[in-house]
Chain A
Amino acid sequence: MLIRKPGKISESEVTPYELYLNRRRFIGRAGRIALLGAIAPSSLAAGDLVPGEAEAATLGPQEDELTPYEDVTTYNNFYEFGTGKADPARNAGTLKPKPWTVEIGGHCERPGDYGIEDIIGRFPAEERIYRLRCVEAWSMVIPWMGFPLKDLLEFVQPTSRAEYVEFTTLYDPDQMPGQRRRVLDWPYVEGLRMDEAMNPLTLMATGLYGKELPNQNGAPLRLVVPWKYGFKSIKSIVRIRLVEDIPATSWNLATPNEYGFFANVNPEVDHPRWSQARERRLGEIRRRPTLMFNGYAEEVASMYDGMDLRRWY
Chain B
Amino acid sequence: MTKGSGLKATAWALGLAPLFWTSVRFFMDDLGANPIEALLHWAGRWALILLLVGLAITPIRRLTGWNQVIKVRRTVGLFAFFYVTLHFLIYLGLDQGFAWSFIIEDVLDRPFITSGFLGLVLLVPLAVTSTKGWIRRLGRRWQQLHRLVYPAAGLGVLHFYWKVKADTFWPLVALAILLGLLLARSPWRALKKASS
Contact = CB atoms under 8 A, between A and B. Distances in A.
Contacts of B34: 75, 85, 138, 280, 282
Interface of A: 67, 70-71, 74-75, 79, 83, 85-86, 136, 138, 181, 183-184, 251, 254-255, 272-275, 277-278, 280, 282-283, 285-287
Chain B contact patch, size range: 20 to 34
B166 A255 contact: yes
A278 B99 CA distance: 11
A277 B36 contact: no
Interface stretch (B8-16, B80-88, B105-113): B105-113
B32 A183 contact: no
21 contacts: A67-B33, A74-B32, A75-B32, A75-B33, A83-B164, A83-B166, A85-B33, A136-B165, A138-B34, A181-B167, A181-B169, A255-B165, A272-B110, A273-B110, A273-B162, A274-B106, A274-B112, A278-B99, A282-B34, A287-B97, A287-B99
B193 to A, nearest CB: 42
Given A138-B34, A275-B105, A183 B110 contact: no
B94 interface: yes
Interface in B48-68: none
Main secondary structure of the interface of A (DSSP, over half): loop
B102 A278 contact: yes
Nearest to A286: B97
Contacts of A251: 166
A274 B166 contact: no
Interface of B: 32-34, 36-37, 94, 96-97, 99, 102, 105-106, 110-112, 162-167, 169
Given A74-B32, A138-B34, A277 B102 contact: yes
A278 B169 CA distance: 29
5 A-B pairs with least C-beta separation: A75-B33, A71-B33, A83-B167, A273-B112, A183-B167
B110 A274 contact: yes
Given A70-B33, A273-B111, A278-B99, 18 more contacts: A67-B33, A79-B166, A79-B167, A86-B32, A138-B37, A183-B166, A183-B167, A273-B110, A273-B162, A273-B163, A274-B112, A275-B102, A275-B106, A277-B102, A282-B33, A283-B33, A285-B36, A287-B99
B10 to A, nearest CB: 29
A184 B168 CA distance: 11
A84 B194 CA distance: 48
A182 to B, nearest CB: 10
Contacts of B169: 181
B106 A285 contact: no
A227 B8 CA distance: 55
B166 A74 contact: no
Contacts of B33: 67, 70-71, 74-75, 85, 282-283
B89 to A, nearest CB: 15
B168 to A, nearest CB: 9
A279 B96 CA distance: 10
Nearest to A71: B33
Nearest to B105: A275
A86 B25 CA distance: 15
A68 to B, nearest CB: 8
A62 B96 CA distance: 21
A183 B105 CA distance: 30
